[in-house]
């Protein structure tokens, strides 16, 4: 299952930024990030709430949680910084795969879901 200890640790510090307010300040990525999230959710048919979190530890880039009908993905707000687009998209895909598979890292269901997602995105990129 999904790592509940990591979720608890993140939620203890969590700041719901949801890109609705003035955050991120002058980075010029807010609308691009909204579009990335919409595109990934549509393409992967996995609706979830994406929440950017400040003060996460330096190692954790994302955490997924399914609880009481909610599907939340917590992403380290450091991934909103300029030059972090690839890491941000990679982390979003990884955490969305947890939501879709409802499994933790290194499980066959999670790895299969992540591989299927990658294959679908590659087909789309190749125009097929």
Q: What is the pLDDT of residues 61-91, one digit of tens each?
A: 999 999 998 999 999 988 988 889 899 999 9
Per-residue pLDDT of the chain (128 residues; tens, 9 = 90+): 556 666 655 554 444 444 444 444 444 556 778 888 888 888 888 889 888 887 788 899 999 999 998 999 999 988 988 889 899 999 999 999 999 999 999 999 999 999 999 999 999 889 86
Distance CA 96, CA 50 (A): 9
Nearest C-alpha neighbor of 94 from the set 4, 16, 26, 2: 2
* Average pLDDT in the chain: 81
Q: Quick one: pLDDT at residue 91?
A: 95
10: domain CATH number? 3.30.2010.10
> Number of folded domains in the chain?
1
Q: Is 91 in a helix, a strand, or coil?
A: helix
The reported pLDDT for the residue numbered 5 is: 66
Q: Can you give the pLDDT at residue 18?
A: 46
- Its pTM stands at 0.79
Domain ranges, residue 29:
4-125
Q: Give the angle 33-54-111 at the CA atoms, nearest 5°.
A: 65
């Amino acid at each position: 299952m999904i790592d509940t200890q990591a979720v608890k640790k993140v939620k203890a510090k969590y700041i719901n930024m949801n890109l609705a307010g003035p955050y991120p300040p002058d980075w010029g990525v807010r609308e691009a990030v909204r579009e990335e999230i919409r595109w990934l959710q549509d393409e992967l048919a996995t609706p979830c709430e994406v929440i950017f979190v400040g003060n996460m530890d330096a190692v954790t880039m994302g955490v997924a949680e399914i609880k009481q009908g909610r599907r939340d993905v917590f992403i380290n707000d450091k991934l909103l910084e300029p030059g972090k687009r690839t890491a941000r998209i990679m982390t979003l895909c990884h955490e969305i795969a947890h939501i879709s598979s409802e499994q933790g890292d290194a499980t066959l269901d999670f790895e299969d879901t992540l591989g299927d997602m990658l294959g679908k995105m590659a087909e789309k990129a190749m125009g097929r």
